[in-house]
Amino acid sequence: MAKWLAAMCAGFLSLTLLPAHADTKDPRDVLGSWSFQTKPYRQGECIMTGTMRLSSHPEDGLYECELTAVEVCSMWGRSVVLQKCQARRFGNQVSIRSEIKQMLEQKVEGLIYVPDNFSLTIQDHSRMWGALVSAATAPVEFRRSEEGIS
């Protein structure tokens, strides 16, 4: 009886110590349309905003995605880049790896644009935060679009 009671208490304590958003097994937590914005980077000269659409993939924990990044830098203007990406989810962590599909706008001729990758933590169904990991790094926040999940 004492062992059973101890096991029940340990189980109860482990459940009560987890935050409400810790149950991230439901893949719908990340599916859908997101917008994102970084904090300023490159000594405050650049900022990136954009949109991303995550869709399902047959492999568990893997998602197909497409993102459009808009980078504005006071030193070289604005770049708009369409990128194909894959997202992999590990619990409440999401890793996004991109490849450039098309440069839609580029102010500086010959500028080498590196694909935009992200390392994120799911906070809840409407917010992810983490870092842009590309030619530069910067804190980033992703917010789910109001349209919800489809």
Domains of the chain from N-terminus onward: 23-144 (2.40.128.120)
Indicate the length of the chain as a whole number.
150
* Angle at alpha carbon of residue 17, lines to 13 and 22, rounded to 5°: 125
CA dist., res. 139 & res. 133, Å (int): 9
pLDDT digits (tens, 9 = 90+) for 95-112: 999 999 999 998 777 778
CA dist., res. 119 & res. 97, Å (int): 9
Rounded to two decimals, what is the model's pTM?
A: 0.77
pLDDT digits (tens, 9 = 90+) for 81-98: 999 999 999 999 999 999
| Residues whose CB is less than 8 angstroms from the CB of residue 10 and which lie 6 or more positions away in sequence, other chains included | none
Q: Are 69 and 96 in contact (CB under 8 A)?
A: no
Tell me which residues of the chain have a pLDDT lower than 70.
Answer: 1-28, 146-150
